[in-house]
């Protein structure tokens, strides 16, 4: 097998950004790296594993809920790959129980497809008071039907994240989900700090889009935000400049009881790689000044990519690049039991990205064309 070497200016190795690395390419894959200087192709920028996003409602002009099929998941994954995200959890939100069943069938068929690493079930077992854009008619307490769906997926070794409110599920139900290997995440909750702490003791290990769809942090009522940060569990956060003030993200990152627990999510809707409007529950949502607004005037998901999230973490929140990349790659990958997604070696070139000085993203393969065309993924 033909061997080639490339020498990027910098490389994110899953933990930190390092310099002076040379990487060997064989058969369209990175097969080794060396700290010794090699006679290889010089590549400008920072090489990194592609981004991992654990909350992706849609993309390419379609929502998973609108058509919960394997083809829809593929279309969404393709739309986000153009922006540097190479692994997603397609996310099915609160809806009729049949929609969840169809999404479960779809993910069982889609496992192994490019970019699909599991399913995020967000709702319907949430607080009516904190439902956000989720349809009130479908909000309900945890039931046997959802429990059976999660059990079926975990029996097939499908990674699952399930967002619920502790007031909508019993401690026993939470414990069962966690024991099955699902990542149980608190979100869309009006619960007290004591309720959140009880759910964490039962098996919750994550918080969904911290600050959003949960009570505000107060001096005598820490609520979900305070309980999640104090417990040191993982939490996702949206960094689009609309959902959470940058100063609150700074505060959360400093306040988390354990390091490297925060991870970046897009909460992206159909508009990523699609038109500037779509229907949700049969009602229009449109993009205005970077915000997705429903007919009630509320935020309805986000119009942001992981690339933009990383850029904002660095430029507006003041996060060092290596930490921002851990939040967009390593932490979510490991949380879902997919540590290989944070590695460079043994990865296809198509799963690696190049970051320019302004942190815009391009595909590694695109840097290896021309006189070195043999180095691209079609090698």
Active site amino acids: 267
Handedness of CA 276, 91, 196, 124 (dihedral sign): positive
Pairing type for strands 361-363 and 352-355 reads antiparallel
- Please, how many CA atoms are within 13 Å of residue 281, restricted to the half-sphere of its CB? 15
Q: Which value, to the nearest 10 degrees, does the dihedral of the CA atoms of residues 163, 209, 102, 282 take?
A: 120
In the chain, how many H helices and how many E strands?
A: 10, 20
Cα 91 to Cα 69, 205, 301, 354, distances in angstroms: 12, 18, 11, 27
Quick check: helix, strand or coil at residue 165? coil
Cβ neighbours, 10 Å, residue 330: 24
Instruction: List all residues 6 or more positions away from 71 whose beta carbon is below 8 Å from its beta carbon.
Output: none
Q: How far apart are CA 165 and CA 347, in angstroms?
A: 37
For 232-262, letters b (16+ CB in 10 Å) and e give ebbbbbbbbeebbeeebbebbbeebeeeebb
């Amino acid at each position: 097998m033909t061997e080639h070497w490339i020498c990027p200016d910098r490389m994110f190795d899953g933990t930190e950004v390092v310099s002076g690395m040379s990487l060997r390419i064989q058969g369209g894959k990175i097969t080794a790296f060396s700290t010794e200087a090699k006679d290889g192709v010089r590549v400008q920028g920072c090489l990194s594993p592609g981004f991992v996003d654990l909350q992706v409602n849609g993309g390419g002009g379609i929502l998973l809920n609108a058509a919960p099929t394997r083809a829809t998941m593929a279309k969404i994954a393709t739309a986000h790959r153009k922006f540097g995200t190479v692994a997603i959890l397609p996310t099915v939100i609160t809806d009729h129980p049949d929609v969840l069943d169809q999404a479960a069938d779809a993910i069982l068929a889609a496992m192994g497809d490019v970019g699909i690493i599991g399913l995020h079930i967000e709702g319907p077992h949430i607080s009516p008071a904190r439902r956000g854009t989720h349809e009130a008619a479908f909000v309900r307490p945890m039931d046997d039907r959802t429990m059976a769906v999660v059990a079926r997926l975990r029996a097939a070794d499908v990674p699952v994240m399930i967002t619920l409110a502790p007031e909508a599920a019993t401690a026993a139900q939470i414990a069962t989900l966690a024991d099955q290997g699902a990542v149980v995440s608190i979100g869309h909750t009006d619960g007290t700090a004591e309720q959140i702490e009880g759910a964490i003791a039962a098996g919750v290990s994550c918080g969904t889009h911290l600050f959003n769809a949960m009570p505000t942090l107060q001096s005598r009522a820490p609520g979900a935000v305070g309980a999640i940060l104090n417990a040191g569990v993982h939490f996702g956060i949206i960094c689009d400049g609309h959902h959470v003030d940058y100063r609150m993200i700074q505060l959360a990152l400093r306040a988390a009881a354990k390091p490297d627990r925060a991870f970046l999510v897009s909460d992206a809707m159909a508009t990523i790689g699609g038109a500037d409007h779509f229907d949700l529950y049969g009602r229009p949502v449109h993009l205005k000044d970077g915000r997705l607004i429903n007919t009630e005037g509320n935020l309805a998901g986000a119009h942001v990519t992981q690339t933009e999230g990383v850029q904002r973490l660095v430029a507006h929140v003041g996060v060092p690049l290596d930490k921002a990349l851990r939040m967009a790659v390593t932490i979510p990958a490991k949380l879902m039991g997919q540590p290989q997604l944070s590695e460079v070696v043994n990865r296809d070139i198509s799963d690696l990205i190049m970051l320019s000085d302004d942190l815009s993203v391009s595909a590694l393969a695109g840097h290896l064309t021309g006189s070195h065309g043999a180095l691209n993924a079609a090698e």
